[in-house]
């Protein structure tokens, strides 16, 4: 019996050899004790998958074997399985908690969208630059951002500060997780005279960039500024401020 008890986990997980499985199932037919132990193991394995810790605790400590009083060996096995189940559950919950995105990550993921250029970027008298612009748009509109970045950077250096080109480059940086590069591009852009739409877009991207970099105080100032306006992102900025205040109510 002891040998068969030691094989329960392997039987459940399908790790027995064909001969071992045949012998185990033959013992199951004649041994109520083994059937009882198998049922308990399955119950505990099922409980591990439950999200509710209290439910697992009830399953572990309220489950009662049928038929006869537990022997000391049975109690030892039950305690061992209960401990293993609890440890496994804590490991799962610890993993989920460790890998849960932070609030700044969630805000960025939920609110960042790739900039959509309207028409072509500003025309120039240089045919080589015009050709490069056409290539940029082809890559960018195909979501080939890594290919777009060096071309956009070269245009920015020659033709700065074109708002649309800058916002395309900032968007590509953010899509490729180059957050510091996006920050260094967007901050100077706000010092130039831009249309209201481009100004709001640059502030929005910069606020999201600072959020992702967890520069929350600086980001909140931008969200407040955006929320005071009547632009497209005003409502979204207000919602983000509510999230920040709810997560950290002691701060303004």
Per-residue pLDDT in tens (0 to 9) along the chain, 252 residues? 567 888 888 888 888 888 889 888 888 888 888 888 888 888 777 666 554 445 555 555 555 554 444 444 445 555 555 555 555 555 555 544 455 678 899 899 999 999 988 755 444 455 566 777 888 888 888 888 899 899 888 888 655 568 888 999 999 999 999 999 999 999 999 988 889 999 999 999 999 999 999 999 999 999 999 999 888 999 999 999 988 888 775 544
Rounded distance between C-alpha atoms, residue 158 and residue 129, angstroms? 9
Q: What is the pLDDT of residue 123?
A: 46
User: What's the confidence (pLDDT) of residue 84?
Assistant: 57
The pTM assigned to this predicted structure is 0.58
pLDDT reported for residue 206? 97
pLDDT in the model for residue 39: 87
pLDDT at 67: 46
pLDDT of residue 239: 92
State the DSSP code for 122: P
Paired tokens of 47: 């409980």
Q: What pLDDT was estimated at residue 207?
A: 96
Predicted local distance difference test score (pLDDT) of residue 149: 92
Q: Which residues contact 180 (CB under 8 A, 6 or more apart)?
A: 213
Q: What is the pLDDT of residue 240?
A: 94
Residue 99: the pLDDT is 56
Phi, psi angle pair for 205, to nearest 5°: -65, -40
* Number of residues assigned to the chain: 252
Distances (CA, A) of 126 to 67, 132, 159: 91, 10, 11
Residue of 35, 32, 43 whose CA lies nearest to 81: 43
What residue has token string 């019996």?
1
Helices (H), 142-233: 145-159, 163-175, 179-189, 196-212, 216-228
Show contacts of 232-241: CB within 8 Å, 24+ apart: 232/197, 232/200, 233/200, 233/201, 233/203, 233/204, 236/111, 237/204, 237/207, 240/107, 240/111, 240/207, 240/211
């Amino acid at each position: 019996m002891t040998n068969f008890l030691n094989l329960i986990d392997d039987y459940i997980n399908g790790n027995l050899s064909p001969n071992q499985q045949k012998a185990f199932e033959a013992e199951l037919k004649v041994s109520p004790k083994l059937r009882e132990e198998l049922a308990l193991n399955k119950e505990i394995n099922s409980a591990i998958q439950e999200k509710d810790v209290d439910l697992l605790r009830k399953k572990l400590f309220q489950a009662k074997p049928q038929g006869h009083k537990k022997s000391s060996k049975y109690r030892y096995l039950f305690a061992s399985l209960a401990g293993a189940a609890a440890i496994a559950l804590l490991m799962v919950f610890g993993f989920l908690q460790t890998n849960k995105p932070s609030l700044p990550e969630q805000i960025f993921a939920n609110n960042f969208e790739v900039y959509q250029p309207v028409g072509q970027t500003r025309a120039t008298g240089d045919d080589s630059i015009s050709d490069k612009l056409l290539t940029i748009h082809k890559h960018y509109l195909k979501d080939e951002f890594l290919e777009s970045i060096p071309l956009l950077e070269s245009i920015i250096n020659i033709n700065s500060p074109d708002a649309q080109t800058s916002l395309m480059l900032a968007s590509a940086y953010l899509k490729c997780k180059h957050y510091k590069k996006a920050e260094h591009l967007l901050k100077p852009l706000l010092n130039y005279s831009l249309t209201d739409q481009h100004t709001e877009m640059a502030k929005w991207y910069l606020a999201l960039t600072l959020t992702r970099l967890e520069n929350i105080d600086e980001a909140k100032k931008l969200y407040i500024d955006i929320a005071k306006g009547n632009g497209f992102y005003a409502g979204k900025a207000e919602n983000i401020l509510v999230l920040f205040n709810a997560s950290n109510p002691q701060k303004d």
